[in-house]
Structure 1
Amino acid sequence: MLLLDEPSNGLDIDAQKELMTLMSKLSELEKIIIVSSHDPELISTVAQSYVFLGNGRVLKQTFGQVSKEKLVNRYHQLYGLGVINDD
């Protein structure tokens, strides 16, 4: 199991791409990777399920890969910002 907290923070574009590739390869080896991130691009590319937390509680859990746009909309819905674009 690998636990990553904001792994793309401070990385340049090429390093972010390398990180996503590495995470995908580890996932293919059936390794569990838990990622805490505010980067919807990274998360939508590599995650297979999502947990949204608030005040120490699970607000929403989603299974299956979700697009960047849907992640951003879910974030806005859960944290009181409304839906920006519901495509």
Structure 2
Amino acid sequence: MQDFEIVYARKPSASDYYFNPQVGFLSVNQTLQSNDVLAVAYQYSYNGQIYQVGEFAADVPPIPRSVQVRDLPRYYISNC
């Protein structure tokens, strides 16, 4: 069983997204296609403890030109 896929990926530039650190909101400035993948990793602190969601490039062994992502369920938000 194969639980990964080899894809072309790039690190977005600062103009590709907007992040509001006070509320933890991330907004992408362009429409993602159905076959696009958006990978996000972040750290936050709560009661003096640091938590991490996802993996940063510095946390995994260097593999030339590769990124490891885990496929999560898609959530659609509609304006009701």
Taking structure 1 as the reference length, the TM-score comes to 0.26
Larger relative helix fraction: 1
Larger Rg: 2
- The TM-score, its normalising length taken from structure 2, stands at 0.28
